[in-house]
Structure formats: C-alpha cells, structure tokens
Amino acid sequence: MAMVSEFLGQLTLQLGGGEPTYPTVVPEPNFDPDKDAARIETAIKTKGVDEQTIIDVLTKRTYNQRREIAFAYERRAKKDMISALKGALSGSLETVILGLMKSTAQYDASEIKASIKGLGTDEESLIDILCSRSNAELMEIRKVYKELFKKDLEKDVAGDTSGDFAKLLLALVEAKRAEPSSVIDYQKIDEDARALYDAGVKRKGTDVKCWISIMSERSVPHLQKVFERYKSYSPYDMQESIRKEVKGDLEKSFLTLVQCFENKQLYFANRLQDAMKSKGAKEKVLTRITVSRCEVDLKKIRQEFKAHHGKSLYQTIAEHTKGDYQRALLSLCGGDD
C-alpha cells in the first residue's frame, strides 16, 4: 500500500472556495473503524492509560475517520468516546486530542468562543483566527458557531470588542470578500492603491473605514496587486504604513491580514517560530495552529518554516516540547524536512 499512501500524501486536494490544500494528515488507506475503536478502548482501559496508542490512531486519521471511530467506539463500549478520552487524558495532550475530535470549523468556532468567554478577551486568538481564514472558512465557522453555541458569531464578537478593532473583525465575519476573478482590473487596482494611500499615509490621521472596506471586501489576488501598486504612491510599503498609522489590536489585525494576503503559510510559520522562541513553547498557539491546519495546509507551513527559519518545524517542536504532547504534535507535523 506504500504507493497509495505516497500518492495520497502528494495529492493537493481542493477545499471548497477553490483554495488548494496541503495537509499533513490524509485519509488512512487501510481504515478499519472497528479495529481502531477496539484499540482505543483497550488503551483507555489499560492501567495508567496507553497514551501512545491513542496518539498513533487519532493523529493518523482525518476528522471524518475519527468520527467513524467514535461511532464504532460507542457501539462497542456503550459510551461516548470523547467523554472517555476526557477522563483518560489530561494536560496538553488532552487539549490536542479533544481538538482533533472537532472538525476544523468546529475547532475554530470553539477557539473563538473560548477567547471571548469569561473575563477579558484573548484578542490574540481572535485576530489569529478571524484575520487568517478564507471566505469559505469564515462562512463555515459562522454556521458552526450558531449550531454549537446557539448564538450569532457577529453578536458575540461585537459584544466583546470595541471601536475600529470591532468594526474590522465584524467586516471580516460578514465574509463579503469577492471571489478571485480571471479578469485583472488594473483601473480598480490603481484606485484601491490610491485610496489606501489617501486614507492613511497621505493625510493627518487615518480613514480606517476606507482601509477596512478595501481589505475586507476585495479578493486576495486583487489585494496582492494593490499592495504592489501601493508602493508607487507611498514611500512605505503596506505593512510599514500600518505600523505608522494605527496601534494596538487594530495594528495587529491589519498586519495579520496583509501578511496572510501575501503568504498565509509563511504567516503561520512565523507564528510558530514566535511561539517557540524562548526555552519552552507558547502551547496555546502551537496547539491551535497544528490542530487547525493539519488537514488544511500544514505541509506548506512546514516548507515555509524550513525555508525562512533554517531548521525544520519537526526539529523545532522536538526541542521545545516534551512527553506525550510532543509525540502528538510531531505525529501531526508529519515529517522532518
């Protein structure tokens, strides 16, 4: 079966919304949900819990396959697999495994909910998710958020943020971004570049509303050309302009957007590098990117990481994590480049 798995590994799958995917977790070709469910049941029942088996099975199956395992487990053990895993695991490993039992959109929706629940808002997580997801992903997150929490994502975001930062996030959540077109509109590119310059660097103060509408409504290929054109009007590129014009969460949001428009996988690679700069690791960021992107584009994130940071993502994770958490992340990372 090596041939088939090799082929599957190289396959660049198309996600809804036309974005190609570069997953590190691909369907297991010899998949047998009953066998996997039996292995997990035994692993949970083992004295001291056999974490390695749980990692081996669940990190090497896609979300759809994990769901089938959960159904098979329930038939076998007459109890819910997610509750059983919760009871058996703890700490960082539990966070990863429970994250894998959600679809990518459910995981993103839960992360957003967690970042606005309780006292204080985790703006970093909100920015990380809302400013980096495609239109198709955002529409799916909105739908799933409503199903899971019986609330509108827009209302929750609006209730927990304020000012221009809130306006930008809400504009993104509306998912009004134009789809890429085969026709390149040079006049529109020039007009948008000019408008971004006139609204920011050229004047005193910033017309944030203009920036928000262009950056939340135009297609990504269009914006890439706009930022190129922008340089012919402004002495600073778009990222430098953002740093000069706005501050705080708004600055971080605009920078995240522009970095994702220019190269989304490099943005995530840099976030991972940043999370593992010091001795330990910022586990929250490391877990979120690994879990949420392993079926989307983690393979490409890995390539960008190696190209820009001179060391493989695999080795970097190995150096900054330990134990079962490390084993789970390395398995999701899927290989040493």
Q: Domain for residue 6, yes or no?
A: no
Q: Domain for residue 2, yes or no?
A: no
Domain count, the chain: 4
Residues 114 and 165 in one domain: yes
Q: Domain for residue 195, yes or no?
A: yes
The C-alpha atoms of residue 179 and residue 225 are separated, in whole angstroms, by 15
Q: Residues 56-90: pLDDT tens digits?
A: 999 999 999 999 999 999 999 999 999 999 999 99
CA torsion through residues 26, 31, 34, 39, sign:
negative
Using 50, 70 and 90 to split pLDDT, how confident is the model at 279? confident
Q: What CATH number is associated with residue 217?
A: 1.10.220.10
Q: Residues 79-123: pLDDT tens digits?
A: 999 999 999 999 999 999 999 999 999 999 999 999 998 778 899
Residues 268 and 253 in one domain: no
- Domain of residue 158 covers 104-174
Q: What is the pTM (predicted TM-score) of this model? A: 0.92
* pLDDT score of 29 more than 50: yes
Tell me, what's the pLDDT at 18? 59
Residues 191 and 257 in one domain: yes
Residues 77 and 121 in one domain: no
User: Which are the contacts of 78, defined by CB distance < 8 A and separation ≥ 6?
Assistant: none
Q: Residues 175-203: pLDDT tens digits?
A: 999 999 999 999 999 999 999 999 999 99
Using 50, 70 and 90 to split pLDDT, how confident is the model at 337? confident
Tell me, what's the pLDDT at 15? 44
| Mean pLDDT to the nearest integer, 21-36 | 97
**Helical residues (DSSP H) of the chain, grouped into ranges:** 2-10, 33-45, 51-58, 63-77, 81-88, 91-100, 104-116, 123-130, 135-149, 153-160, 163-173, 186-199, 208-217, 220-230, 238-245, 248-275, 283-293, 298-309, 313-320, 323-333
Half-sphere exposure of 317 (CA within 13 A, CB side): 30
User: What tokens appear for 86 in the block?
Assistant: 């919760």
Tell me, what's the pLDDT at 7? 43
